[in-house]
Amino acid sequence: MKTYYFHTEDGRPHNDEFGVDLPDRAAAQQEAVRMMADLMKDRPGNVLENGHWQVVVGDETRRQLFRLELRLVEE
């Protein structure tokens, strides 16, 4: 198991100080998607207010591995 850190940004940064132990990067990607879905469900107005949300996932060395983004793009 490796520790992955899930930092969120919804207009303000929220740093993950504890991390989550997961078996691999694929599991971390799935967790990031679940986290984004929970954030959207719990605070849908924040997406509209800020226009941008992201979950940035880092490894045990705190190196950024990937970013999941949600953007409101008006045409």
**Euclidean distance between CA atoms 10 and 45, whole angstroms:** 10
φ, ψ of residue 26 in degrees (nearest 5): -60, -40
Cα maximum dimension of the chain? 44
46 three-class SS: helix
Domain boundaries in the chain?
2-71
**Euclidean distance between CA atoms 20 and 55, whole angstroms:** 14
The model's pLDDT over 21-65, given as tens digits with 9 standing for 90+, comes to 999 999 999 999 999 998 888 877 777 777 788 999 999 998 999
Output the pLDDT for position 19: 96
| pTM summary value | 0.86
Q: pLDDT: is 9 or 5 the higher one?
A: 5
